[in-house]
């Protein structure tokens, strides 16, 4: 059975948007505006790695370095732009740096003083944070803020960061010596789904507190197995709870549906494939408590279907061997099922 693996565009080509802003790779054409906005004491003094005065030569070198870092996946530096009189205008930047050999990254940002007070930092940094946790192999993102920078502290807390401690860092613009900082961290569980995203109960880990006795949520999932013995897994897209983790296709049962009926509907909606009830073989079930509900999930096996799986909901699809499957960061409810599935296949 031949299928085409759906994949996401390379991270080096990512262009993000919000209601007001565009976040794209920095380019040499940004050097003049970047230098003008950064060569400002009120901006520089809050950034660890930026000297003051800020020479134009450093701006050019930063942009050149950012290209190579982006191409090899070490860091992603986004120019934050808006529209002014119908023209693109640089207003700031957000940088994400991956920590070698770890599933963590650090994030930093700045906004030109002229654009302070308009929510730019919160909007742009929150967008990059959600993109990173949904599309890169990360478990958490960290940030450090000078203790005398309450505005940035408020930004981090607003987009989901938790304060995890205090420390001391050197700030180039402030000369020698260390300065007190606050340390923050954000993981997937800290992020609420995007406000425009529909969030059914089974998907809403950030819903309002449940009453005593967690509500039971029924979800059906399916392991599609191709002719080479590979399994189809899907990565939860940005805007969904636990975005960036992998799962088996499926979804919540609607009122009156059986697990098989729910799977037939979900596989058609999510992947564009048609499955007959007779081709769904019950395999095992998961029982897992999330913070706001308890999940009960029967898992079915399927080796025959009509059509080619296509990502219809923005998810990333990947065919993996049973051994490869063990290396993916799966949803907590799915993890205990992996050894059983590997042994079967």
150/121 Cα distance (integer angstroms):
13
Do 174 and 214 sit in the same domain of this protein? no
The pLDDT of residue 6:
42
Known binding-site residues for 8-oxo-dGTP equal 236, 247-250
Do 117 and 223 sit in the same domain of this protein? no
Tell me, yes or no, whether 4 lies in a domain.
no
pLDDT tens per residue, range 194-242: 544 433 333 433 333 334 578 999 999 999 999 999 999 999 998 888 8
Q: Residue 20: which domain range?
A: 11-190
Known binding-site residues equal 236, 247-250, 270
Strands, DSSP E only, in 188-293?
Answer: 216-224, 231-235, 246-247, 250-252, 281-289
The pLDDT of residue 212:
56
Do 110 and 251 sit in the same domain of this protein? no
φ, ψ (nearest 5 deg) of residue 299: -115, 130
Q: How many CA atoms lie within 13 A of 9 on its CB side?
A: 6
Is residue 119 helix, strand or coil?
coil
Do 16 and 139 sit in the same domain of this protein? yes
Do 53 and 147 sit in the same domain of this protein? yes
Contact, 123 vs 94, CB < 8 A? Answer: no
Residue 306, classified by CB atoms within 10 Å of its CB into exposed (0-12), middle (13-18) or buried (19+), is exposed
Tell me, yes or no, whether 196 lies in a domain.
no
Do 74 and 213 sit in the same domain of this protein? no
Structure-block tokens of residue 181: 């900082």
For the domain that residue 107 is a member of, what is the CATH number? 3.40.630.30
If one counts the domains in the chain, the total is 2
For the domain that residue 207 is a member of, what is the CATH number? 3.90.79.10
Q: What is the mean pLDDT of residues 61-73?
A: 90
Residue with tokens 């599609």: 224
Alpha helices in 74-138 (DSSP H): 120-135
Known binding-site residues for Mg(2+) equal 250, 270
Neighbours of 312 (CB within 10 A): 12
216-224/246-247 β-pairing: unpaired
Do 158 and 239 sit in the same domain of this protein? no
Q: What percent of the chain has pLDDT over 70?
A: 90
């Amino acid at each position: 059975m031949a299928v085409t693996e759906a994949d996401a565009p390379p991270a080096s080509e990512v262009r993000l948007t919000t209601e007001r802003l565009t976040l794209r790779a920095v380019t040499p054409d940004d050097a003049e505006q970047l230098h003008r906005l950064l060569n400002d004491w009120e901006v520089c003094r809050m950034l660890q790695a930026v000297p003051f005065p800020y020479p134009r030569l450093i701006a050019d070198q930063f942009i050149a370095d950012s290209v190579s870092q982006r191409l090899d996946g070490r860091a992603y530096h986004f120019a934050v732009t808006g529209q002014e009189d119908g023209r693109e205008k640089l207003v700031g930047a957000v940088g994400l740096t991956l920590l070698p050999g770890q599933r963590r990254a650090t994030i930093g940002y700045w906004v030109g003083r002229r654009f302070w007070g308009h929510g730019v930092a919160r909007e742009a940094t929150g967008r990059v944070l959600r993109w990173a946790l949904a599309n890169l192999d990360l478990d958490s993102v960290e940030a450090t803020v000078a203790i005398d920078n309450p505005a940035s502290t408020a930004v981090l807390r607003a987009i989901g960061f938790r304060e995890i401690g205090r420390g001391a860092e050197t700030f180039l613009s402030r000369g020698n010596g260390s300065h007190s900082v606050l340390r923050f961290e954000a993981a997937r569980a800290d992020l609420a789904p995007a406000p425009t995203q529909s969030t059914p109960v089974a998907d809403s880990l950030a819903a309002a507190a449940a009453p005593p006795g967690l509500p039971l949520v029924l979800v059906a999932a399916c392991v599609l197995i191709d002719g080479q013995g590979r399994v189809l897994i899907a990565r939860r897209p940005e805007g969904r709870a636990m975005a960036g983790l992998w799962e088996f296709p499926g979804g919540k049962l609607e009122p009156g549906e059986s697990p098989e009926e729910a799977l037939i509907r979900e596989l058609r909606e999510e992947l564009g494939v048609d499955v007959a009830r007779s081709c769904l073989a019950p395999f095992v079930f998961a029982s897992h408590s999330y913070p706001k509900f308890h999940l009960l999930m029967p898992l079915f096996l399927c080796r025959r279907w009509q059509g080619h799986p296509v990502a219809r909901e923005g998810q990333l699809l990947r065919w993996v061997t049973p051994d490869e499957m063990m290396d993916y960061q799966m949803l907590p409810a799915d993890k205990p099922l992996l050894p059983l599935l590997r042994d079967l296949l």
